[in-house]
């Protein structure tokens, strides 16, 4: 790596004189109650950039005393050395008592020589650091990362003051990302709470609570002035085949995103060369793969005027005089209806575990008056727009931070040590 004047190339082992491996072996006989035990962390507690404090086990004080080498302290750098989390890096934080660690490379912060632990945590999280970790693990025995490989990681060494300044700048970006993540989570939770209230009539737009009565249905209690029709009473199956084999976009239905363009989504062709047996699905139609609907794979097609789907899909259209499409889609995407679809699939006579139209159309849905449906859909649309804005902002912050890391950690972009860091 070509470095600017004043920077040097060294090995990580030259900067941190104590790099050890967390406890390796069976711990089952040493677990104990939290009231008397010592916190025992595992690789699942290591996530890129943050240290998880959920799902902690506890070991006996005797075990901890016997395994002092695997004890961890705040600011120690941790690398998951095995398993699904192999290569993930974080700094130990939030420890308020003696703690122990399994199956991690532990880079002891107190052993640092002119090295800032925050700076080198960011370096190990960068493309340059990760590539060395994964290359080392790939070349090691059974994909295991070890202390020798850790010591041999090539790292840049700026002056200590510059290391600290770079770490401060990147930390400010982390805080901005964290704030945005919390705002996004809050918005998602608020939408979910709104859905639970509005789709059951517990909260009604423009009507005070307690001003209307309820009736009991299989869906639960809903307002008396709502209908509870079977899907067959408000929707019609659409069975148009692409007989002319026209080159319409091939669509798939995902669990979370609804309909997607198969070629763009999977970045490869996942459908048949012969499209003549595929079904047409026009804008405003619903559809689901009959063998996956219990997973929540149902969509409202608003991508193209006309697309096509696999023959295993059921396609249907809602009556526009009775149903707002966005409202019905919100109902059918709830966890409650996933359960209903699963139960209907299990009860189906189709032994292939599929839910066909003749069974699907027997399912009932809560249906407010059309104007109320439209108001509910508008509320959800506004919530979705807010969530989409935050998701876009979060993605931009992460990309910008990644680009900044590549510049700052290699010296391609220098910082002035005496300049304050923007909050």
Mean pLDDT for each 10-residue chunk of the chain (423 residues)? 91 97 96 96 96 96 97 97 92 96 97 97 96 84 82 97 97 97 97 95 91 91 96 97 89 90 82 86 96 88 96 96 97 93 77 82 97 97 97 97 95 86 61
State the residue for tokens 């104007």.
Answer: 371
Phi/psi at 316 (nearest 5 deg)? -150, 160
Q: Give me the pLDDT at residue 405, please.
A: 96
> At how many degrees (to 10) do helices 160-198 and 117-125 cross?
60
Q: Is 373 helix (H, G, I), strand (E, B) or coil?
A: helix
Phi/psi at 75 (nearest 5 deg)? 85, -5
Residue (of 248, 231, 337, 339) closest to 286 by Cα position: 231
Residue (of 417, 395, 410) closest to 126 by Cα position: 410
Residue 313 in tokens:
């899909």
**Spatial distance between the Cα atoms of 144 and 161, rounded to a whole number of angstroms:** 34
**Spatial distance between the Cα atoms of 180 and 217, rounded to a whole number of angstroms:** 40
**Spatial distance between the Cα atoms of 85 and 218, rounded to a whole number of angstroms:** 44
State the residue for tokens 């993605």.
Answer: 395
For β-strands 299-300 and 46-47, DSSP reports them as unpaired
Q: Which residues pair with 9 in a beta bridge?
A: 156
CB 365 within 8 Å of CB 200 = no
**Spatial distance between the Cα atoms of 214 and 201, rounded to a whole number of angstroms:** 9
Beta strands in 271-396 (DSSP E): 279-282, 286-289, 299-300, 306-309, 313-318
Domains and CATH numbers, the chain: 8-157 (3.90.220.20), 159-205+369-423 (1.10.287.1120), 229-365 (3.90.220.20)
Q: How remote is the C-alpha of 191 from its chain's centroid?
A: 17
Q: How remote is the C-alpha of 97 from its chain's centroid?
A: 31
**Spatial distance between the Cα atoms of 301 and 157, rounded to a whole number of angstroms:** 54
Residue 112 in tokens:
């640092």
Q: What are the angstrom distances between the C-alpha of 10 and each of 7, 125, 164, 179, 412? A: 10, 18, 18, 35, 18
**Spatial distance between the Cα atoms of 145 and 133, rounded to a whole number of angstroms:** 7
């Amino acid at each position: 790596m070509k470095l600017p004047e004043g920077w040097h190339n060294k090995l990580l082992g030259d900067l941190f004189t104590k790099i050890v491996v967390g406890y390796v072996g069976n711990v089952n006989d040493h677990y104990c109650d939290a009231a008397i035990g010592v916190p025992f962390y595992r690789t699942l507690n290591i996530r890129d950039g943050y240290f998880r404090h959920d799902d902690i086990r506890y070991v006996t004080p005797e075990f901890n005393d016997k395994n002092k080498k695997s004890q961890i302290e705040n600011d120690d750098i941790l690398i998951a050395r095995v398993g699904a989390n192999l290569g993930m890096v974080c700094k130990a934080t939030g420890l308020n008592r003696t703690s122990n660690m399994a199956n991690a490379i532990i880079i002891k912060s107190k052993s640092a020589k002119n090295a800032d632990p925050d700076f080198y945590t960011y370096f190990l999280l960068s493309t340059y650091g990760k590539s060395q970790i994964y290359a080392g693990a790939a070349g090691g025995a059974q994909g295991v990362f070890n202390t020798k490989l850790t010591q041999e990681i090539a790292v840049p060494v700026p002056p200590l003051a510059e290391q600290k300044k770079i770490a401060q700048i990147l930390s400010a970006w982390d805080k901005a990302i964290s704030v945005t993540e919390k705002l996004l989570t809050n918005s998602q939770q608020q939408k979910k709470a709104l859905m639970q209230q509005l789709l059951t009539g517990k909260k009604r737009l423009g009507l005070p609570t307690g001003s209307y009565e309820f009736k009991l249905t299989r869906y639960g209690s809903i307002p008396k002035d709502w209908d509870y029709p079977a899907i067959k009473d408000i929707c019609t199956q659409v069975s148009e085949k692409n007989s002319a084999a026209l080159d319409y976009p091939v669509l798939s239905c995902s669990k979370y995103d609804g309909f997607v363009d198969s070629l763009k989504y999977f970045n490869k062709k996942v459908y048949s060369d012969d499209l003549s047996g595929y079904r047409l699905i026009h804008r405003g139609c619903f559809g689901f793969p009959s063998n996956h609907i219990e997973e929540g794979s149902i969509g409202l097609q608003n991508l193209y005027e006309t697309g096509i789907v696999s023959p295993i899909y059921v396609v249907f259209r809602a009556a526009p005089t009775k149903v707002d499409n966005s409202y019905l889609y919100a109902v059918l995407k709830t966890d409650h209806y996933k359960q209903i679809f699963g139960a209907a699939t299990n009860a189906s006579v189709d032994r292939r575990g599929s839910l066909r139209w003749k069974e699907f159309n027997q399912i009932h849905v809560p249906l407010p008056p059309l104007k109320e449906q439209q108001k509910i859909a508008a509320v959800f649309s506004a919530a979705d727009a807010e969530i989409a804005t935050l998701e876009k902002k979060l993605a931009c912050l992460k990309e910008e931070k990644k680009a900044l890391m590549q510049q700052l950690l290699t010296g391609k972009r220098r910082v002035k040590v005496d300049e304050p860091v923007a909050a």
